[in-house]
Amino acid sequence: MAKIIDGKAISKDIREEIKNEVAERVANGLCRPGLAVIIVGEAPASQVYVRNKKKGCEEVGFYSEVYELPAETTQGELNALVDKLNADDKIHGILCQLPLPKHLDENEVILRIDPKKDVDAFHPYNVGKIMIGDYDFLPCTPAGVMALLERSGIEVSGKECVVVGRSNIVGKPQAMLLLHANGTVTVCHSRTRDLAAVCRRADILVAAIGKADFFGADMVKEGAVVIDVGMNRRPDGKLTGDVNFAEVEPKASYITPVPGGVGPMTITMLLKNTLTAAKNRE
Ligand code: GUN
């Protein structure tokens, strides 16, 4: 029987800490952290994320602005908004919700956001800082995973860590953060030979491929820590991770559920990055 890592509870604790720090800052005459969120078009999943981000800001006492732009927005209009927010002293963090509609260039937007306000840590400047271990911001999902491990008392140093998935947002930075924590890291992907055998080596397995219930008991070592980054919809509409929870849970020592594991941590890490951005301005 695995211990269930309660991402909701850990997230709540961290938000409480952020809230207290914000209250203290404001009481001491320091600026209230401000986050701007941009969403272009009307993808329902993105709308839910954006609503939750705004709610998260209110919860911890941040100032926030949400820009809901129509799907026909031009690159020029989007760039102009980013420029305006870059220059706005009330705004410490800027997040442009991805994916963008096809006619817009995501890279152009990422490059345009002031790296000091890049609370997603997507700008190549921040990606490079993460690579050398000298960073202000960590990308929200991998940072959330590290916080779950730390707050559950799980030691990474010296452990075999297997990350499955190599996206720029999750897999690659996750591997780097585990490496900084002195894990021995393997990154797997769709071309990996005998994936199950590599996964079975893992003391800490991070599943981030976006395939519902893909990781079964045959892919997990007895006593492994299993972190499920997946967010998939089953045909019946229910949310499920990349890990077959019913099969894997009896074998694991720790496991994150979906929902209620990594998911709640991502916005909390975004809030943490925004607080850091505000502090770095002083
Ligand atoms: N879309 C899905 N996840 C994310 C994220 O972490 N940041 C942004 N900007 N867009 C996303």
pLDDT digits (tens, 9 = 90+) for 231-277: 999 889 899 999 999 999 999 999 999 999 999 999 999 999 999 99
| Whole-angstrom distance, CA of residue 225 vs CA of residue 228 | 10
> Are 159 and 223 part of one and the same domain?
yes
Please provide residue 125's backbone torsions phi and psi, each rounded to the nearest 5 degrees: -60, -45
231 in ligand 1 pocket by Cβ < 6 Å? no
> Are 39 and 78 part of one and the same domain?
yes
> Are 162 and 86 part of one and the same domain?
no
Question: Which string of b and e fits 95-119 if b means at least 16 CB within 10 Å?
Answer: bbbbebeeebeeeebbebbbbbbbb
| Whole-angstrom distance, CA of residue 3 vs CA of residue 252 | 8
DSSP 32: P
> Are 217 and 152 part of one and the same domain?
yes
| Whole-angstrom distance, CA of residue 120 vs CA of residue 117 | 9
Q: What pLDDT score was predicted for residue 207?
A: 98
| pTM of the predicted model as reported, rounded to 2 decimal places | 0.96
Dihedral over alpha carbons 75, 114, 92, 266 (to 10 degrees): 80
Q: Does some domain include residue 282?
A: no
215 φ/ψ sector (left φ>0, alpha ψ -120 to 50, else beta): beta
Residues of the chain with pLDDT under 70: none
Q: What pLDDT score was predicted for residue 52?
A: 93
Question: Tell me, what CATH number does 48's domain have?
Answer: 3.40.50.10860
> Pick from 115, 131, 153: which residue ends a domain?
115
> Are 102 and 34 part of one and the same domain?
yes
Q: What pLDDT score was predicted for residue 79?
A: 98
Q: What pLDDT score was predicted for residue 33?
A: 98
> Pick from 115, 132, 150: which residue ends a domain?
115
> Are 148 and 73 part of one and the same domain?
no
Q: How is residue 18 written in tokens?
A: 């952020």
Task: Determine which residue's CA is closest to atom 3 belonging to ligand 1.
Answer: 98
Q: Does some domain include residue 276?
A: no
pLDDT digits (tens, 9 = 90+) for 187-205: 999 999 999 999 999 999 9
273 in ligand 1 pocket by Cβ < 6 Å? no
Residue 97 C-alpha to ligand 1 middle, in angstroms? 5
> Are 169 and 223 part of one and the same domain?
yes
> Pick from 99, 115, 131: which residue ends a domain?
115
**Which of the residues are catalytic?**
53, 97, 120
Q: Does some domain include residue 4?
A: no
98 in ligand 1 pocket by Cβ < 6 Å? yes
Q: How is residue 85 written in tokens?
A: 């927010």
> Are 155 and 218 part of one and the same domain?
yes
**Which amino acid does the sequence have at 127?**
V
96 in ligand 1 pocket by Cβ < 6 Å? yes
Q: Which atom of ligand 1 is nearest to the CA of 139?
A: 6
Q: Does some domain include residue 70?
A: yes
> Are 186 and 219 part of one and the same domain?
yes
For the chain, what is the domain count?
2
Q: Which atom of ligand 1 is nearest to the CA of 120?
A: 7
Q: Does some domain include residue 274?
A: no
Q: Does some domain include residue 157?
A: yes
Residue 251 C-alpha to ligand 1 middle, in angstroms? 32
Q: Does some domain include residue 9?
A: no
Structural domain of 147: 140-263
Q: Does some domain include residue 133?
A: no
Residue 266 C-alpha to ligand 1 middle, in angstroms? 9
CA atoms within 13 A on the CB side of 197: 3
Name the 3-class secondary structure at 160: strand
> What is the edge-to-edge ordering of all strands in the sheet holding 63-69?
63-69, 34-40, 93-96
> Are 85 and 145 part of one and the same domain?
no
Percent of the chain with pLDDT over 90: 94
> Are 152 and 107 part of one and the same domain?
no
> Are 244 and 160 part of one and the same domain?
yes
Question: Tell me, what CATH number does 186's domain have?
Answer: 3.40.50.720
Q: Which of 265, 200, 198 is nearest to 5 (CA)?
A: 265
